[in-house]
């Protein structure tokens, strides 16, 4: 490698003759000032990553935990069934514009209600225990920077045990309903603030689900009547709105409100029609 020779201090170079020393010092100081912000920007940490569904990186793996305080309203006798805490893991995989996510929630609750009798029947007290498993699988594509349509599969399993008062024609009912079928929806994510760590999001989902219900009716005389309904269809709708913040180091926190609604095509079967409540999620992406 060839190194430049140093000029004799007693003999100024041509460059020294063209540019006086005070101006050279001023120019060197100006270049130093301009260079400092560039070096600082190079040493700044990268911006906090977006949530996994919108991350621009080649490959994103994410996992986290979600809780949903859902409030169920039945279309039948028991009416308002109170809040149930559903909770479970979230797993996600993103590659370029594609994303795959799996969410599993489970929980249960107990409540008391009143069975509304018919014209010749008096109302009777009910005590019920409800368990619930809720699974969502979604394959999404980032069509625009803020818009991501998806297709997937929805599964809900809800076993219920209902105990009636002695005045009723039956003492207890064991029922298990299972919902399953394809789902279609869209997710939109916006960053309305100058600080892009904050975002708001909304999701809408529709699914034509098939339902299978099994019942065991226990009577006061000790006999049991078992029935299995034919598979029938329901229209499943779900939507939510949320706000979130990228906390840094791959962590994202989200809070929002979600509603699920089921509309039946037949009068077969009983069970919850509307489920809604606040949810919270914490996601780590890398």
SS (H, E, C) 72-137: EEECCCCCEEEEEEEEEEEEEEEECCEEEEEEEEEEEEEEEEEECCCCCCCCEEEEEEEEEEEEEE
Cα separation of the two ends of the chain: 43
pTM for the predicted model, two decimal places: 0.70
Per the model's pLDDT, the better-predicted residue between 101 and 46 turns out to be 101
Q: Which band of pLDDT confidence, cut at 50, 70 and 90, is reported for residue 95?
A: very high
Find, among 256, 284, 281, the residue nearest to 48 by Cα.
Answer: 284
Distances (CA, A) of 189 to 56, 65, 145: 14, 20, 8
Q: Which band of pLDDT confidence, cut at 50, 70 and 90, is reported for residue 88?
A: very high
> Is 107 a residue whose pLDDT tops 70?
yes
Distances (CA, A) of 260 to 108, 133, 237, 271: 17, 14, 6, 13
Question: Across residues 177-188, what is the average pLDDT?
Answer: 92
Rounded Cα gap, residues 103 and 99, in angstroms: 13
User: What is the per-residue pLDDT for 127?
Assistant: 79
Rounded Cα gap, residues 112 and 242, in angstroms: 32
């Amino acid at each position: 490698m060839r190194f430049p020779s140093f000029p004799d201090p007693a003999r100024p170079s041509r460059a020294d003759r063209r540019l006086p020393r005070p101006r050279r010092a001023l120019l060197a100081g100006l270049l130093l000032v301009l260079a400092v912000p560039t070096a600082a920007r190079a040493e700044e940490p990268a911006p906090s990553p977006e949530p996994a569904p919108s991350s621009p990186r080649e490959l994103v793996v994410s996992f986290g935990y979600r809780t949903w305080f859902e409030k169920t309203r039945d279309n039948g006798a028991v009416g308002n069934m109170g809040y149930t805490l559903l909770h479970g893991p979230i797993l996600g995989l993103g590659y370029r514009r594609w994303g795959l996510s799996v969410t599993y929630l489970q929980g249960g609750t107990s409540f008391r209600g009143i069975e509304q009798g018919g014209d010749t029947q008096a109302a009777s007290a009910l005590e019920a225990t409800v368990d619930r498993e809720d699974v969502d699988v979604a394959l999404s594509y980032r069509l625009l920077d803020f818009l991501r349509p998806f297709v997937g599969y929805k599964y809900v399993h809800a076993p219920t045990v209902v105990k009636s008062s002695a005045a009723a024609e039956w003492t207890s009912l064991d029922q298990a309903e299972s919902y399953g079928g394809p789902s279609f929806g869209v997710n939109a994510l916006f960053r309305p603030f100058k600080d892009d760590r904050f975002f708001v999001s909304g999701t809408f989902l529709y699914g034509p689900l098939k339902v299978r219900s099994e019942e065991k009716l226990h009577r006061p005389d000790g006999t049991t009547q078992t029935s299995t309904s034919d598979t029938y269809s329901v229209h499943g709708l779900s939507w939510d709105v949320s706000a979130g913040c990228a906390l840094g180091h791959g962590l994202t926190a989200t809070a929002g409100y979600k509603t699920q609604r089921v509309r039946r095509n037949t009068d077969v079967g009983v069970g919850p029609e509307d489920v809604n409540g606040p949810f919270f999620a914490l996601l780590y992406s890398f």
